[in-house]
Amino acid sequence: MSSAVQNLAISLGVMQVARRIPFDNPQVLLGVRIAYVVTQVVVLGIYYQISNKIKAKNDQTVLKYVEPAGPMSQEQGKLITITVRDYDLAETSKLLRGVYIGIAMMVVMHGYFQYTQPLFIQALMGLKGLYDSKLVAIYILGKAAEGDYERPFKTAAMFGVQSGPQTDAASIAEAEKRAGKKED
């Protein structure tokens, strides 16, 4: 089952559980708030630790791949040449940005609109995000960067078909030819 389908199933299940939680009880609400804050601090702390490990390792191995064009774009993919260190830092930055956006949404939803169920759901989804992160698997759990964890990371679509950067030699050669023609 793909990550997106898992997230949807977990969200729907957690929403059913959240309906049974008495959020009108101040003690329960305080507990959920604390759980949410602790979860976000743990997630940010782990991503900070990963960032430090990436910088300490300083892997200068060069990655070459063709970044696919947008789904509605008529353009062809763009050739990307980057080091493993810079790629991993960019991926960590994307993960951090997602956490920050989630926190900002919670501030608005809970702080302004007084919704309480999303606090509970997002506390669990933050942990699910850590579980799904390939960088956590590589840098925290010590998994080898091969197979599903090979860079550049592929993303699973809704129904299990993986998509993402093209790493085959033919695609890279074609993109290099296009880049060479544009420079002339």
| CA angle in degrees (0–180, nearest 5) for 110-7-160 | 150
The answer to whether the beta carbons of residues 55 and 85 sit under 8 Å apart is yes
What residues contact residue 84 under an 8 Å CB cut-off, 6+ apart?
Answer: 59, 60, 61, 63, 151
pLDDT tens figures, 91-146: 999 999 999 999 999 999 999 999 999 999 999 999 999 999 999 999 999 999 99
**Could you tell me the two tokens for 61?**
């191995």
Is residue 157's pLDDT more than 70? Answer: no
What is the per-residue pLDDT for 76?
77
What is the per-residue pLDDT for 16?
93
Say which residue, 34 or 165, is predicted with more confidence: 34
Provide DSSP, 119-182: HHHHHHHHHHHHHH-HHHHHHTS---SSGGGPSSPPEE-TTS-EE--B-SHHHHHHHHHHHHHH
pTM above 0.75, yes or no: yes
Q: Average the pLDDT over each of 18-27, 30-39, 76-85 and give the range with the smallest value.
A: 76-85
Is residue 169's pLDDT more than 70? Answer: yes
What is the per-residue pLDDT for 159?
56
pLDDT tens figures, 40-60: 999 999 999 999 999 999 999
pLDDT tens figures, 92-106: 999 999 999 999 999
